[in-house]
Structure 1
Amino acid sequence: MLLANYHTHTARCRHAWGEDKEYVENAIQEGMKVLGFSDHCPWIFPKDYVSHTRMEPQELDGYFYALEALRQEYARDITIYIGFESEYIPELMEEQNQLLDGYPVDYMILGEHFTASEVTGPYTGFPTESEQDLEKYVDLCIAGMETGKYVYVAHPDLIHYTGPDEIYEEHMERLCRYLKGKDIPVEINLLGVVEKRHYTSERFLKIAQRIGNSAIIGCDAHTPDRLSNPEYIQTCLDLAQRFGLPVVDFLPGLMPKA
């Protein structure tokens, strides 16, 4: 059984499906005590650019209004937290912070999908043999976590480095050591595992095992059923056990209230 999931999207991101309530009810069906919504956070982009992977800034009011209503409606059944998944892009942070100022954001997770603005890309999940890209990705993940803004790194091995294993291990070991030192779990990403993407990879989990990291299961739910499929969830739990990674049930400060 998965007691909590902090990696949940909504249809507002334009590549997820289902009603907000369906996500809540599926989490309750699984027996979860905590459900964290962390849809892709909006940015202030140039006016002529429209993102197809995240909500627009004008959707923030509706996001919080709808989820706060569900939090009250299901308070006896599950604890709901409202947050975001977001990149750490230093040159854009001031405007994003201003955008979110005044909203009751419970938490954020770091998902470094781009190492620059989404407008210029590229997506970090595209294959690359560039050590420079790998190094920049790890540097940004560490720098982002150092801000204290994010509770953990979503799909930490999203960077799709296809070069020599020794270079991959050098940089990803640096990330794992940092997370271990801060007592931050590495995410085993259910979406990546069940869709057989390049993440969560065994080569990454071998590094985490060697360093002694703990793990958290992140459903990365883009459809409600990903929160209540026991076979998918067990596959991720089995991965953690196979590589000797203790699974964290709840994040500090984001515990069940009921």
Structure 2
Amino acid sequence: MKKVDGHIHTPFCPHGSSDSFHQYIEKAISLQYTHLTFTEHAPLPAGFKDTTPDGDSGMALDDVPLYFDAIEELKETYRGQITILSGLEVDYIEGFENETTDFLNRWGSRLDDSILSVHFLHHKNEWDCLDFSPDVFLRMIDRYGSVDAVYAHYYQTVLKSIDADLGAFKPNRIGHITLVKKFQKIHPASKPFTEEIHRILKAVAEKGLELDYNGAGVIKPHCGESYPPEDVIKYARSLDIKTVYGSDAHSAAGIDQGRHEMEL
């Protein structure tokens, strides 16, 4: 039986752990996984300034060929034990579509699989990494005017990412579409945004894309549910959208996280 983790980070992640590829893979094998996609954070697009304190949201551009070469070696090392795919988690950053397309055109031929995610939002000449910390999210609430306004802008941006023309190598899976709920226990929205989420899912279905069913939110103390939660997954599947479990592991210990509470 196929058992997949389609969203895994690596030692190339500048904000992750130093765990080796082998540690991730051996942990996955011990849990009877049959397929893994490594999806390291791609370098942010040329000309975009990372707003996180350490500027460490994506891997260094110079590391990209080393990353792909490392995964190619691992495919051979573990052939017959587990299937390993080369992937990236690519940020959709509104206004930088051309730069993102240029990057994908350069490296897309080396991708087996990939994810398109929204982490950064733009408002009143300010960029924020919305999932960085509760303090950053609170600052966003103050600037946007309400929690609901942040949520609305996030979902609008996710929809734009689905509709964006990023060329022939645009990622085929949309990442953690409810990431905005990471701090929902301390910064709750006043409504579920069902209409906005259904609009996103219909766009995913129309374009034949997949959905990242992400376990990281289950273990986040201020979230407590998968990205997206079960009701959204049920609606996605009613539209025949393929959902792919992703641990979003940033360490070997993170492999399989959240899975026991998800509908797989």
Secondary structure of 1:27's aligned partner: helix
Do the aligned residues in 2 keep the contact of 1:179 with 1:185 (CA within 8 Å)?
yes
Query: TM-score by structure 1 length?
Result: 0.76
Closer, same or farther: CA 71–198 of 1 in aligned 2, 3 Å: same
Is 1:21 equivalent to 2:27 in the alignment? no
Q: Is the 8 A contact 1:4 1:33 kept in 2?
A: yes
Q: CA, structure 1 residues 43+83, in 2 after alignment: closer, same or farther (shift >3 Å)?
A: same
CA distance in 2, matches of 1:95, 1:203: 28
Name the CA distance, whole Å, in 2 between partners of 1:224 and 1:75: 20
> For residues 34 and 234 of structure 1, what CA distance do their matches in structure 2 show?
18
Corresponding residue for 1:124?
130
1:159 and 2:187 correspond = no
Write the distance in 1 (CA, Å) between the matches of 2:233 and 2:45.
35
- Normalised by the length of structure 2, the TM-score is 0.74
Q: Describe how 1:1-258 pairs up with structure 2 within 5 A.
A: 3-17=3-17, 18-46=19-47, 51-103=55-107, 104-116=110-122, 120-125=126-131, 126=137, 128-130=147-149, 132-144=152-164, 149-160=170-181, 162-165=188-191, 168-182=193-207, 184-198=209-223, 200=225, 204-210=229-235, 212=238, 215-227=243-255, 232-236=258-262, 240=263, 247=264
SS at match of 1:11: coil
SS in 2 for 1:62: helix
Q: Is the 8 A contact 2:23 2:252 kept in 1?
A: yes
Q: Say whether the 8 Å CA contact 1:110–1:141 is kept in structure 2.
A: yes
Could you list the runs of 5+ residues in structure 2 that have no partner in the other structure? 132-136, 142-146
Question: Is the alpha carbon distance of 1:24 and 1:98 closer, same or farther for their aligned partners in structure 2, counting shifts above 3 Å?
Answer: same
**SS of corresponding position for 2:80:** coil
Letter in 1 for 2:259: I
The aligned amino acid for 1:227 is I
More strand by share: 2
- In structure 2, distance between residues paired with 1:225 and 1:203: 22
Give the equivalent residue in structure 1 for 2:144.
none
* Cα offset, 1:159, TM superposition: 2.1
Matches of 1:141 and 1:48 in 2, distance apart? 19
State whether residues 116 and 173 of structure 2, in contact with CA within 8 Å, keep that contact through their aligned partners in structure 1.
Answer: yes
Please give the alpha-carbon distance, in whole angstroms, between the structure 2 residues aligned to 1:36 and 1:95.
24
Shift of 1:204: 4.6
Q: RMSD of the alignment, in Å?
A: 3.2
Specify the code of the residue in structure 1 equivalent to 2:230.
L
Contact 1:158 1:199 in 2 (8 A): no
Deviation track 1:71-95 (CA, whole Å, cap 9, x = no partner) reads 1111121111111111223532333
Aligned mates of 1:42, 1:13 — CA distance in 2: 10
Question: Structure 1 residues 77, 145: closer, same or farther in 2, change over 3 A?
Answer: farther
| CA drift at 1:55 | 0.5
Letter in structure 1 aligned against 2:195: E
- Give the Cα separation in 1 of the matches to 2:207 and 2:96: 25
Could you list the per-position Cα deviations for residues 151-180 of structure 1 after superposition, in whole angstroms to 9, with x for gaps in the alignment?
2222110124844316x1221121123334
Task: Provide the rounded CA distance (Å) in 2 between the counterparts of 1:145 and 1:30.
Answer: 38
DSSP 3-state at the match of 1:150: coil
Q: Which amino acid aligns with 1:96?
A: T
